[in-house]
Chain A
Amino acid sequence: MSGVRVLVGTKKGAFILTSGGKREKWEINGPHFAGWEIYHMKGSPADPNRLYASQTSGWFGQLIQRSNDGGKTWEPVDNRFVYDGVPGTHQWYDGTPHPWEFKRVWHLEPSLDDPDTVYAGVEDAAMFRTKDGGKSWTELSGLRKHGSGPHWQPGAGGMCLHSIIIDPKNPERIFIAISAAGAFRTDDGGKSWKPINKGLYSKYIPDPTAEVGHCVHHVAMHPSRPGVLFMQKHWDVMRSDNAGDSWQKISGNLPTDFGFVIDVHAHEPETIYVVPIKSDSEHFPLDGKLRVYRSRKGGNEWEELSKGLPERNCYVNVLRDAMAVDRLDNCGVYFGTTGGQVYASADAGDTWTAITRDLPGVLSLEVQTLS
């Protein structure tokens, strides 16, 4: 029997939400790691019971937890994230040089075919990899050292590497994004990288079309079309049809094109979802009304989805890694809010219900479709 497991990272622990294929009744398990910030949890596509979690704290630093039984039990694995060589400096908010310092892991991306191989996107921005299930981590330093690193600068949330997308047809090709440096691509498994930001326009940097410096909030891809990428930038929703070599704006009729999340329907590669946020200075929905917007045409033409979502007095945010889809038919769409609500749609966004309303603020959300 099919089912769904939703992995929710919050400001005060991890929660695992499970349901059968109808997605009507939910069981909520947690908090795991109570009191800790769980920046991200994700399961291995090759072994759904193998989960990894990024557990962090201002007091105690970074931990990585691993589960071999779908989140029932966990064990801490290696938490040494040491930059390769002398890390040097990047730009601080005011443009002055600032030492590169490890702060936390924002995103864990398991390999598509090996449960022991996982990529970690960290703050200050760098990518690490384990090949032994988390027993040791090694930096893929070609990214940080490719040349533009000293010019990278943090976004308001820190200089985080938050998006990691592995090309399912070519595992040597990986896309990543950094706030606020931009998007990058490797075609040789992480040895060398190049910025892929042509077409992005950002008014908040001295050269709005610079090669790096763009505050990319999230990037999404449909696995059947790895050359097509969708991006929610600080402002602007963007699309690339050539693996990031160039981007076009697809904000179209969105009421505001500021936001954090973006995702793609599991079975319709041209159907994409965003949650518009009022502005960079007011991180909540327009008019206090929480709405998802869906385009069935790969952008530009968007429809409002609000059935079941709060119609008034809603001033939450949806953070960059807090939306995901399941692979059931009809496709399920899920997102978590900074107010602790987790909303789900079992009909591709047409209607929404709250699975739970009172969790700590949601930092991340991932979905596993179980067979």
Chain B
Amino acid sequence: MIRVELPAHLRTLARVRKEVQLEIEGTVTLRSVLDALEARYPMLRGTIRDHVTRERRPFLRFFACELDLSHESPDALLPEAVAKGEEPLLIVGAIAGG
């Protein structure tokens, strides 16, 4: 079970309270987690990754296990603690604007 923590606005949009829990078949990567997240919550499509390029939106970051994974390959394996469900993947909105 993979745990994902969304920013507040996306929790509201997806109508979830805090963490989202996802089952991932195969390798646990940013791509596989985001694919599973968007499959379960279709309203999140386009809000984390661009519809066309599939790249991370510029004002969002991916953190886990005190690491910044924002610039990792989407196909790189996520930390083992995330894959085991011990730590969440954090999707974080940049601190910007008012």
> What's the Cα separation between A62 and B44 when bound, in Å?
11
* A61-B57, A76-B43 known; A82+B9 contact, CB < 8 A: no
B45 touching A79 by the CB < 8 A rule?
yes
> What's the Cα separation between A62 and B96 when bound, in Å?
18
* Count of chain B residues with a beta carbon within 8 Å of a chain A beta carbon: 21
* A35-B9, A58-B97 known; A63+B47 contact, CB < 8 A: yes
Residue-by-residue, is A63-106 near B (CB-CB < 8 Å gives 1, otherwise 0)?
10000000000001001101000000000000000000000000
B9 touching A57 by the CB < 8 A rule?
yes
Within 8 A of B (CB), among A42-70: 57-63
A82 touching B93 by the CB < 8 A rule?
no
* A57 / chain B contacts, CB cutoff of 8 Å: 9
Answer yes or no: A36 CB below 8 A from chain B CBs: yes
A59 touching B43 by the CB < 8 A rule?
no
User: Closest residue to A79 on the B side, CB-wise?
Assistant: B46
Answer yes or no: B76 CB below 8 A from chain A CBs: no
* A79 / chain B contacts, CB cutoff of 8 Å: 45-47, 51
Q: Tell me the smallest distance from the CB of B86 to a CB of chain A, in Å.
A: 28
A59 touching B93 by the CB < 8 A rule?
yes
Q: Which of B7, B45, B96 has the most CB of A within 10 A?
A: B45
The one of B45, B51, B60 in contact with A59, judged by C-beta atoms closer than 8 angstroms, is B60
B51 touching A80 by the CB < 8 A rule?
yes
- Counting residue pairs across A and B whose Cβ atoms lie within 8 Å, the total is 45
With A60-B13, A60-B93 known, 20 other A-B pairs at CB within 8 A are A34-B12, A35-B8, A35-B9, A36-B9, A58-B96, A58-B97, A59-B9, A59-B57, A59-B59, A59-B60, A59-B93, A59-B94, A59-B96, A60-B7, A61-B50, A61-B57, A62-B46, A63-B13, A80-B45, A82-B52
Answer yes or no: B77 CB below 8 A from chain A CBs: no
* A58-B59, A58-B97, A60-B57 known; A76+B9 contact, CB < 8 A: no
* A62 / chain B contacts, CB cutoff of 8 Å: 46
A61 touching B9 by the CB < 8 A rule?
no
Q: Which of B10, B13, B97 has the most CB of A within 10 A?
A: B13
Residue-by-residue, is B17-60 near A (CB-CB < 8 Å gives 1, otherwise 0)?
00000000000000000000000000101111011100001011
> What's the Cα separation between A82 and B46 when bound, in Å?
11
B interface residues with partner A (beta carbon < 8 Å):
7-10, 12-13, 43, 45-48, 50-52, 57, 59-60, 93-94, 96-97
> What's the Cα separation between A199 and B8 when bound, in Å?
50
> What's the Cα separation between A60 and B96 when bound, in Å?
13
* A60 / chain B contacts, CB cutoff of 8 Å: 7, 9-10, 13, 47-48, 57, 60, 93
* A80 / chain B contacts, CB cutoff of 8 Å: 45-46, 51
> What's the Cα separation between A58 and B52 when bound, in Å?
17
Q: Tell me the smallest distance from the CB of B75 to a CB of chain A, in Å.
A: 23
> What's the Cα separation between A61 and B57 when bound, in Å?
8
> What's the Cα separation between A370 and B7 when bound, in Å?
38
* A34 / chain B contacts, CB cutoff of 8 Å: 12
Between A and B, 7 residue pairs with Cβ closer than 8 Å are A35-B9, A58-B97, A59-B93, A60-B13, A62-B46, A63-B43, A79-B46
* A35 / chain B contacts, CB cutoff of 8 Å: 8-9
